[in-house]
Amino acid sequence: MKPFNCAKCLKRVLVLDAKTQPIPATGENHATATKRSRVSGIDRALQVLDYLYETGSPSGAYAVAKAIGAPLSTVYVIIDDLVEKNLLTRSADGMIWLGARLYHYGLAYARSLDFISVATHEMHDLCRQVGETVQVCGRDGDHMLVLAMADGPSHFQVASRVGTRVPLNWTASGRLLVGHLPDSERIELFKRCARSSPTGRADVDPATLSAAAADAMEARLSIQAGESDYAVACIASPICNREGECVATISIVLPEQKVLSDETHYTSHVRAAAERIEGLMGWRNH
């Protein structure tokens, strides 16, 4: 692999993007416009990456250009540069997707976070204790995002993997992640983001969801069964910081019938795991 020349990569993007903007020739206005051009060039590259991340699937250059409102010629050059630097990959049919270099950056970032390290350790311990799949989830705007996952020993298949994003109203974790917010803010959020689930069982009423989120937060426990996937249940507990804000959740994902037969066994374990994470992070003063 060629050495990564970030300056050269950005220069090509910036020069091309600058052609689409009027730039004064001299003086302070020229310096200001040049700075604006530089920010816009970086933004173009980020828009390409963000578009792929948001759609969650490979895409063609034309679709990207249309989505981000950039000239197709600009997008082609950006894509070529990002592919060359392994930040994007290009398949034989010309479709582009996120590159391996981004994965390595993500791993390095995750290793630098004490929380992820602590939560992942407790996640694996909980997985061994209950013999089921365990996930650590966070909030990504209007969605719940799976941050980490430990597969249980059974053959039970869980559709959501690391990186999966689903609407907040579909999951037990989603409700907890906004449970600390004021009621009015929760209602407005659910008005904007609540969606019908594939099973048709997820609640979409903002007031009902807001009340459920508050109750779950107070109980430090949220349970959903069959709302996002058929015959799949989730038991989640909030991980809260010093201010009492739910920054993440830890949850057990298991067959729906197991929740109905032995709910207490799982709820006690998941609550204890969340409390241990908070204690190790020094957050148990709320």
Is pTM beyond 0.75? Reply is: no
Query: Stretch 34-58: mean pLDDT, rounded?
Result: 78
42-46, 86-90, 95-99: lowest mean pLDDT where?
42-46
Q: Report whether pLDDT(162) > 70.
A: yes
CB 195 within 8 A of CB 138: no
Q: Report whether pLDDT(22) > 60.
A: no
Confidence at 229, pLDDT banded by 50, 70, 90 = confident
CB 168 within 8 A of CB 145: no
Distance of CA 248 to the CA centre of its chain: 11
H helices of 149-282, in order, are 172-177, 183-193, 206-219, 256-261, 263-280
The percentage of the chain sitting over the pLDDT mark of 90, rounded to a whole number, equals: 60
Cross-strand bridge partners of residue 133: 253
CATH H-level superfamily of 113-280: GAF domain (3.30.450.40)
pLDDT of residue 273: 97
Q: Start-end ranges of CATH 3.30.450.40 in the chain?
A: 113-280
Q: Report whether pLDDT(25) > 90.
A: no
Rounded to 10 deg, the angle between the 72-84 and 61-68 helix axes is 120
pLDDT of residue 123: 97
Query: Stretch 111-123: mean pLDDT, rounded?
Result: 86
| Single-letter code of the amino acid located at 149 | M
Q: Start-end ranges of CATH 1.10.10.10 in the chain?
A: 6-104
Q: Which numeric CATH code is attached to 6-104? A: 1.10.10.10
Confidence at 286, pLDDT banded by 50, 70, 90 = low
